[in-house]
Chain A
Amino acid sequence: MTEGRLSRRDRWRMAMRAALLQATWNYERQQGLGWAWALKPALDRFYPDAERRRSRLTEHTAYFNTQPTLASLALGAVAGLEERRAAGEPIDSAAVARVKSALGSSLAALGDRLFWLTLRPVAACVGLVFAISGRWFGALAMWACYNWIHLGLRFAGVEWGYREGPDVLGTPLRARLEELVRGLSALGAALVGLIVATVLVPGGEPRPMVFQAALAGGLVLGMLTAQRARPSPTEWALGIGMLCIVAGWMR
């Protein structure tokens, strides 16, 4: 019935395919199609019978959504579950769907905070510190800072998920990731301070008073507007840009 356990190559292929998890993101199934595509190497391994494999593939195109990097953990865990199911253990489609749903929402909650709210802004700040000093490698620093965690988790995640199963997001890993979020947030606050200092005194030469006053004005306005979701920072920035053009014309 089954072709045995997933090989390292299969797990590698799943991690590679997870990069396309959001290629067909849509409002109905969200990452459903990408999920089935990423899981296919495992299903190919466990279900040599084409009919059964297609039936499983169709099941996995159902609604799924999570933070795309941490989806690797869920992929590994569900591949392990499918392996046991193919081996004849009493695991039905509803059980697989429950695990997907539970892992999806908890990984999304943690992943959104780790990647979108913390790591991406921190990586941007690292790049900005160099770029504001006029160094070309700011972009590379930003890329490297983000991807050693992002790509590391994407590739190691399938492995961890497969090994630990549905309990992959148990206490030790969750605690480590929560600690990472706290550490990165503190680093981010310090980096913003460093960026403000670099903007004020680039290369040891203080900026003109008008620049410093405008920067302070921008910081105060940003602090006030950050308390509300609407208008968005971009809408505020567009309004400021228009006002500055008007001011440039009138002066």
Chain B
Amino acid sequence: MSARLIATFLLGGIAAVDATPVAQTLLSQPLFTATILGALWGNLTLALEVGIVLQIMAASTLPVGARTPEDYAVGGVVGAGVALALGSQQPFEVSRNAGAMLGALAGMIGAVLGVPLIKWQRRRNEGLSRWCEDALARGDEGALAAAQWAGVALAFATGVCLTAVLVGGALRGLTWLAAHESLRLARAWTLAQPLWIGLGLAQLLNSFVQRRLTRAALFGISLLAGWLVLMMGSP
């Protein structure tokens, strides 16, 4: 197994830890992890293409209320990891787009599959919590620290394992597809990429605008101004 794959799995663990148990500093966001993976695998363009799609989907997925949101921390690493690993085996531009298509899909599937694992961790933490309270009652104050770090270790191990299983499984199952059906997959990417970006941006816009006319006007003005500047060149 290559060192880059191992580093990808470890990044899955780090992302899982940053997402909820420790600090929540956005190191776990797909754009961040994709940039790191792009530098690691030496293909920043491909990593960013997948990272942008997954980041837009992640930004429109909100951890509020009782709903457990999709796990884009691990999903982001899986998506960029699969795309880069598949892309590294293919010499042509078309195969690169095929890798992006499969990577983005793998990332979203990884994000969905991460939800039951997050719920499982939370149930494991219930046991940890009860153990800690019993230990505290017995006079062991160190149990608090032990429980905290056990929670972090559990999240890290779960992130590493889920990333390894999904990236490994995708490489085993999709390498042939990416190599032999790259044209069809590239066509699918040409269509899916703008649709995904549009879908996610509309969700974001809806949450920002909240039916306020001034914010909708701001969106329109910045779109028009940005488009004009980019088309005509800056004054």
Contacts and interface: CB of A to CB of B under 8 A. Distances in A.
A25 B32 contact: no
B1 interface: no
A223 B216 CA distance: 13
Contact of A201 (B112, B125, B230): B230
Interface in A185-233: 185-186, 188-204, 206-207, 210-212, 214-223, 225-227, 229, 232-233
Interface in A119-155: 120-121, 123-125, 127-128, 131-132, 134, 136, 138-139, 142-143, 146-147, 150-151
Interface string A32-49: 111011001000000000
Given A26-B126, A54-B139, A225-B203, A198 B109 contact: no
A143 B206 contact: no
B58 to A, nearest CB: 7
Interface stretch (B3-11, B167-175, B220-228): B220-228
A233 B67 CA distance: 14
A189 B215 contact: yes
A219 B202 contact: yes
A217 B194 CA distance: 9
Given A37-B145, A138-B35, A139-B35, A218 B195 contact: yes
Interface stretch (A92-100, A171-179, A243-251): A243-251
Interface residues of A, number: 100
B208 A189 contact: yes
B109 A238 contact: yes
Q: A123, A142, A186, A245: which has the most chain B beta carbons within 10 Å?
A: A245
A32 B198 contact: no
> Taking each of B189, B202, B233, which has the highest tally of chain A beta carbons within 10 Å of its own beta carbon?
B202
Interface stretch (A16-24, A78-86, A157-165): A16-24
A185 B48 CA distance: 25
Contact of A61 (B136, B192, B208, B214): B136
A223 to B, nearest CB: 5
A145 B234 CA distance: 25
A201 to B, nearest CB: 4
Interface in B166-218: 184-210, 212, 214-216, 218
Interface residues of B, number: 106
A122 to B, nearest CB: 8
B158 interface: no
Contacts of A116: 62-64
Contact of B195 (A20, A26, A142, A240): A240
A22 B20 contact: yes
Given A24-B151, A221-B199, A233-B61, A138 B230 contact: no
A166 interface: no
Given A33-B148, A57-B144, A193 B221 contact: yes
Interface of A: 19-20, 22-29, 32-34, 36-37, 40, 50, 53-54, 57-58, 61, 68-69, 112, 116-118, 120-121, 123-125, 127-128, 131-132, 134, 136, 138-139, 142-143, 146-147, 150-151, 185-186, 188-204, 206-207, 210-212, 214-223, 225-227, 229, 232-238, 240-241, 244-245, 247-249, 251
6 contacts: A24-B147, A26-B128, A33-B132, A127-B31, A189-B222, A247-B191
Given A223-B205, A226-B203, 16 more contacts: A26-B123, A54-B141, A58-B133, A131-B55, A138-B48, A143-B32, A185-B208, A192-B219, A201-B230, A214-B195, A220-B202, A221-B199, A234-B111, A244-B188, A244-B195, A248-B186
**7 interchain residue pairs of minimum CB distance:** A218-B198, A222-B202, A197-B226, A248-B188, A193-B222, A193-B223, A26-B125
